[in-house]
Structure 1
Amino acid sequence: MPKALLFIPDISGYTRFINNTEISHQQHIITELLEILLDTNDIGLELAEVEGDALFMYKADQIPDPEEILSLVRRMFIRFHSHLRYYDQYRICHCGACEGATGLNLKFVVHQGEVSYLRLKDFKPKPQGREVILAHRLLKNDIESKEYILLSHAMEQVSKNQILEIINAKTLQSGQQQYGNEDVGLISYHYADLGHLKNHVEEPEALRPAHINPNPLILEKKINIKPVDLFEIMINFDHRLKWNPGVEKITYDEKEMNKSGSQHICIIQGKEIEFETIQGPKEPGVWSFGEKSKVPIIGEVYVYFMIYPDEIGSKLKVEVHPNPSSRWINLILPLFKRKYRSILKDLLSNLKSYAESI
């Protein structure tokens, strides 16, 4: 049977969530991270299967050089944590999944051996056999570190010096694991901690300060629903068309979590209007976010949404902060605010009806 490299990046660190918002956001975050790992693969590894929060990848016939394998591990690890650091700075949600994302960990298991392939119709071949079982068993081990690269005994072509140099590991340690199975048994391996590579993660660009108008338009609405659920309805574009009848269509990146810098386009009265998600005012216990758009004639308009806990559920406060494109625009701002107030009143009534009905 031909040999293959078996390569498994595995994400861990999330606790179990029962809240629908947290479950949904967890899935979005994990999906983004897995796609980053796949995009970083430039040595021709094939994806056999997505296994929960892990990728089962392989390379048949020609095993990549040790330098290629170790360099890929280094790049994947740094890009993984770069994205987490970026997300933590730009996120607008404070649910358990979003706040806990920076605590996610990444480890790698690398093994090689003879494999056979399961071939079904037009699906890609999937490696199977004893070596595949062994590689997956190695994910369960007694290594104390949460982030590491584990190289099985079969990866003897990877030298200690290569590991220490390419991933800047301080030490390379040896380990053994008894898996209590006649087909697997006692397995030896080497491993190195990867946590130090976080020092190579760059800080994301600082957020731009929000625009604040000294005389904003302010509206409030009480809605009988939990703040976290109301927040999800408002930031989830799948809900937007259901409570904003003025929007004919919304286009956005369905795979991306809505965060600062996220963009979406609304078709309103046949015209495309671009919106950008921004950070809302920071207040303890308050769920907030904002959206920036360009209104013809007026210029940029910043709208902030703050959701406060209330005795019946939530109190939603909306602040509209125009940023006039020129001084003379200030003369027509009162007219703009009257029109915008009327639109917002109807919109908030629709939102209340929809939110309280689901």
Structure 2
Amino acid sequence: MLNVQRGCLVLADIAGYSEYLSGVELTHCQDVLADLVGTIVAQTRGSLRLAKLEGDAVFCYGPDGTGDGSMLLALVESCYFAFMGRREHIRRNTTCQCNACRTIDRLNLKFLTHHGEYVIHQVAGSHELVGRDVVLAHRLLKNSVTEKLGFRGYALFTLASVQRYSLDPQALRMAKHADSYQDVGEVIGYVLDLEARWKEEEDRRAVYIPPGKGIELDQRELPAPPAVVWDYMTSPQKRPLWQGSDRVDQRNPRGVAGVGTQVHCYHGAMVIKEEILDFRPFRYLTFRADWGKTVGLMGTLLITMELTPAADGGHTRVSCRVVHERGLKQRLLLPFVEPRLRSVIRTVMDNLSRLLSSPPDEHN
């Protein structure tokens, strides 16, 4: 009997590749493609499962229960930002004058995100996803988004995925879009302009405590990829599992976690308040923290949690750095509260390390 599953279906497709391929040297363009596809796959590791590499596209899926709307959007945006960053790095640093290297900026990245049913079919020792929704997701890669909206780099979320992951198209500034297909009729979706988001991120002032600045409270390697660590650090459902809080409430201006998100962590009668100031999925986040009596009269602090993938891709180096936010009083007090801060951070990071080392079914 077929085991029908439900989940998220995500296709990341390198836009403009066919045109790019027709005018460049084959050897170099294959190197470029392998580099960019590898960047996409690395970003999805731990958050989605790789179904198949399809030439210039990556097909991934995630069974229900493996992520929420905030994580899905963080994944899509982080993949796009990593792709664009890698593309620009190749363009700026190459000394090769071949067409493949000189025209790499013609390439962009588009996503299709759908939610539906699928069956995992075993073929010759490997698995393949089949089903009507799998076919539909692939069909939707051929759409009129660029012609109608002018977007080159974008994410098209079907109505099914928007509803399943409780995404707010208006808050996220998504454009409504519809295409008709002969065999399935009209399909409605919402489109996020990722190229515009990339430019916003490039222009936005970073709030980041670099290595060597402030006080490094903890640094360690955790036994999970950056996407998984990020999920546990930012999910209000998962944070109590390792922080020891009774509950975590989160208010998100865009409907998903990001800059401006307000967090309240409840520990008995004590409430720890946080505001996210910088949010770079799977890389780092910086937040303002008011830890109340935990650090006495210290007041608010700025904390950066930075994630760096280990060479094997399956582990993550996490660094926690803190600075005082303002004033002579805070600067003088910080050395005195440092031992308490360090103890708190190391305790919760020990908890997180143990949690990530345990089987997934024990994470509840």
Provide the residue aligned with 1:77 in structure 2: 80
Provide the residue aligned with 1:25 in structure 2: 28
- Give 1:141's match in structure 2, choosing from 140, 143, 151: 143
Contact 2:11–2:57 (Cα < 8 Å) also in 1: yes
Distance 1:61 1:18, change over 3 A: closer
Contact 2:159–2:190 (Cα < 8 Å) also in 1: yes
Provide the residue aligned with 2:181 in structure 1: 179
Letter in 1 for 2:110: K
1-structure distance, mates of 2:202, 2:58? 22
1:257-277 CA distances to partner (integer Å, 9 max, x unpaired)? xxxxxxxxxxxxxxxxxxxxx
Contact 2:87–2:104 (Cα < 8 Å) also in 1: yes
2-structure distance, mates of 1:157, 1:6? 12
Letter in 1 for 2:6: K
Contact 2:15–2:109 (Cα < 8 Å) also in 1: yes
Q: 1:246-285 maps to which residues of 2 (within 5 A)? A: none
For residue 43 of structure 1, report the CA deviation from its aligned partner: 4.1
Q: Does 1:157 align with 2:160?
A: no
Distance 1:17 1:188, change over 3 A: closer
Q: Does 1:89 align with 2:92?
A: yes
How much identity, in percent, do the aligned residues show? 29
2-structure distance, mates of 1:191, 1:148? 7
Contact 2:47–2:66 (Cα < 8 Å) also in 1: no
Q: Does 1:6 align with 2:13?
A: no
Contact 1:43–1:64 (Cα < 8 Å) also in 2: no
SS at structure 2 position matched to 1:150: strand
Contact 1:81–1:201 (Cα < 8 Å) also in 2: no
For residue 7 of structure 1, report the CA deviation from its aligned partner: 0.6
2-structure distance, mates of 1:9, 1:148? 10
Contact 1:106–1:146 (Cα < 8 Å) also in 2: yes
For residue 17 of structure 1, report the CA deviation from its aligned partner: 4.3
Contact 1:78–1:201 (Cα < 8 Å) also in 2: no
Q: Which moved more, 1:84-93 or 1:152-161?
A: 152-161
SS at structure 1 position matched to 2:82: helix
For residue 160 of structure 1, report the CA deviation from its aligned partner: 4.5
Contact 2:43–2:75 (Cα < 8 Å) also in 1: yes
Contact 2:115–2:164 (Cα < 8 Å) also in 1: no
Contact 2:20–2:106 (Cα < 8 Å) also in 1: no
For residue 110 of structure 1, report the CA deviation from its aligned partner: 0.4
1:45-70 CA distances to partner (integer Å, 9 max, x unpaired)? 11111112100111134342111110
2-structure distance, mates of 1:17, 1:189? 30
2-structure distance, mates of 1:85, 1:93? 14
For residue 197 of structure 1, report the CA deviation from its aligned partner: 2.6
Provide the residue aligned with 1:44 in structure 2: 47
Provide the residue aligned with 1:190 in structure 2: 190
Paired residues in the alignment total 193
Contact 2:111–2:154 (Cα < 8 Å) also in 1: yes
Q: 1:223-262 maps to which residues of 2 (within 5 A)? A: none
2-structure distance, mates of 1:85, 1:140? 26
Q: Does 1:115 align with 2:118?
A: yes
Distance 1:3 1:160, change over 3 A: closer
Q: What stretches of structure 1 of length at least 5 have no aligned partner?
A: 203-358
SS at structure 2 position matched to 1:2: strand
| Regions of 4+ moved over 2 Å | 16-19, 60-63, 157-161, 197-202
1:234-267 CA distances to partner (integer Å, 9 max, x unpaired)? xxxxxxxxxxxxxxxxxxxxxxxxxxxxxxxxxx
Letter in 2 for 1:141: N
2-structure distance, mates of 1:31, 1:201? 25
Q: What stretches of structure 2 of length at least 5 have no aligned partner?
A: 204-364
Letter in 1 for 2:100: A
2-structure distance, mates of 1:138, 1:22? 30
SS at structure 2 position matched to 1:115: strand
Q: 1:296-307 maps to which residues of 2 (within 5 A)? A: none
Letter in 2 for 1:198: W
For residue 97 of structure 1, report the CA deviation from its aligned partner: 1.2
Contact 2:120–2:129 (Cα < 8 Å) also in 1: yes
SS at structure 1 position matched to 2:47: coil
